[in-house]
């Protein structure tokens, strides 16, 4: 099943046969504790249409610590060259942020359990990087998809442990559910609402690839928070087991699509509520239009959002 997901995931369809076999070989191995210094790399973007700077010891001073910093973290079987990663970076650099893409591709190209266990080590590495760069915690916003969301949580925990300060914000884009569900009541072992001043979560594939319960200061369950999401239905031909898995994984990745529209000015048509039962019974607040910049420490709870059925999915 792992191999089928790899074949049909975004940006991986163009791999040739030998590359696919190599990828299949990579994800068939459980690899624990084998982490090298160059397994986690950092790329700095500061202006549109300019090449990134690979941050090493001699370039870490190129980061302007007076700017707010957006740190983007991919998930399993991915890398920082994913199309969505580039699109998100483009949106952020328009607004004069430091944008740092984290690339942990080698560790992500492993059996899922290996990558899941490694999230803590990767998060600690990112946390130490933030400390070494002397970034101000209240100007740091971590954004992670799937396993990357939990990596963001561990990075923030590292900062809090070292300085006593919380980073400003974590955005978890459909945080991974497999492996982390067993830590539902152990917040130290996963992303949690206490990790940052604001922890906003976009749920799109709960119960499958994504986590299905609230873990943030603000949890947005989009179209029920489960598959299938709009954009993953319609002209979809089920010809194989691979098609079925692609269909499910599509909803997991829609969290990224929604987030990119969100930071681009779109708004969630959202109803704040403390449970699905209260939503059905009508015991909830009125619908609100929530923009990405509206999210703050005072906006807390569970939000049930509806989108359009095609792009643009969010309201303007």
Catalytic site positions? 146, 174, 252
> Two tokens at 171?
């955005």
Name the H helices within 141-240: 147-163
Nearest to 160 by CA among 201, 200, 123, 115: 123
As a dihedral over the C-alpha atoms of residue 247, residue 248, residue 249, residue 255, rounded to 10 degrees, the angle is 110
Task: Give strand pairing partners of 199.
Answer: 170
- 8-state DSSP, 176: B
Would you state the structure tokens that stand for residue 117, as one six-digit string?
């266990």
The radius of gyration computed from the CA coordinates of the chain, to the nearest angstrom, equals: 19
Q: Answer for the pair 307, 223: CB distance below 8 angstroms, yes or no.
A: yes
Nearest 10 degrees: CA dihedral of 182, 183, 189, 191? 110
Give the span between the Cα atoms of 143 and 140, in whole angstroms.
10
What's phi and psi for 121, nearest 5 deg? -65, -40
Alpha carbon distance 181, 177 (integer Å): 6
Q: 267 is written with which tokens? A: 């708004």
312 preceded by a cis bond (ω within 30 of 0): yes
Q: Is residue 144 helix, strand or coil? A: strand
For residue 270, which phi and psi values (nearest 5 degrees)? Answer: -125, 145
């Amino acid at each position: 099943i792992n191999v089928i997901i790899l074949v049909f995931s975004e940006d991986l369809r163009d791999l040739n046969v030998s590359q696919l076999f190599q990828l299949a070989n990579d994800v068939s191995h459980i690899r624990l504790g084998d982490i090298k210094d160059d397994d986690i790399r950092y790329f700095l973007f500061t202006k549109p249409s300019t090449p990134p700077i690979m941050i090493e010891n001699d370039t870490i001073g190129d980061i302007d610590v007076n700017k707010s910093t957006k740190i983007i973290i991919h998930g399993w079987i991915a890398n920082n060259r994913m199309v969505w990663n580039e699109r998100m970076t483009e949106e952020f650099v328009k607004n004069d942020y430091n944008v740092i893409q984290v690339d942990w591709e080698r560790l992500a190209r492993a059996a899922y359990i290996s990558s899941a266990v490694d999230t803590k080590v990767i998060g600690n590495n990112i946390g130490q990087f933030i400390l070494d760069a002397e970034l101000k915690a209240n100007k740091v916003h971590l954004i992670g998809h799937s396993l990357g969301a939990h990596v963001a949580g561990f990075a923030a925990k590292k900062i809090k442990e070292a300085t006593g300060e919380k980073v400003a914000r974590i955005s978890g884009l459909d945080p991974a559910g497999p492996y982390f569900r067993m830590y539902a009541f152990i917040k130290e072992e996963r992303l949690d609402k206490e990790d940052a001043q604001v922890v906003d979560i976009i749920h799109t594939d709960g119960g499958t690839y994504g986590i299905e319960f609230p873990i943030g200061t603000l949890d947005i369950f989009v179209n029920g928070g489960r598959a299938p999401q709009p954009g993953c239905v319609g002209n979809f031909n089920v010809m194989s087991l691979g098609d079925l898995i692609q269909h499910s994984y599509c909803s997991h990745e829609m969290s990224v699509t929604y987030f990119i529209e969100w930071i681009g000015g779109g708004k969630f048509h959202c109803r704040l509520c403390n449970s699905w039962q209260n939503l059905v019974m009508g015991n909830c607040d009125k619908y609100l239009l929530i923009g990405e910049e509206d999210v703050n420490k005072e906006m807390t709870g569970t939000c049930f959002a509806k989108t359009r059925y095609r792009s643009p999915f969010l309201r303007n």
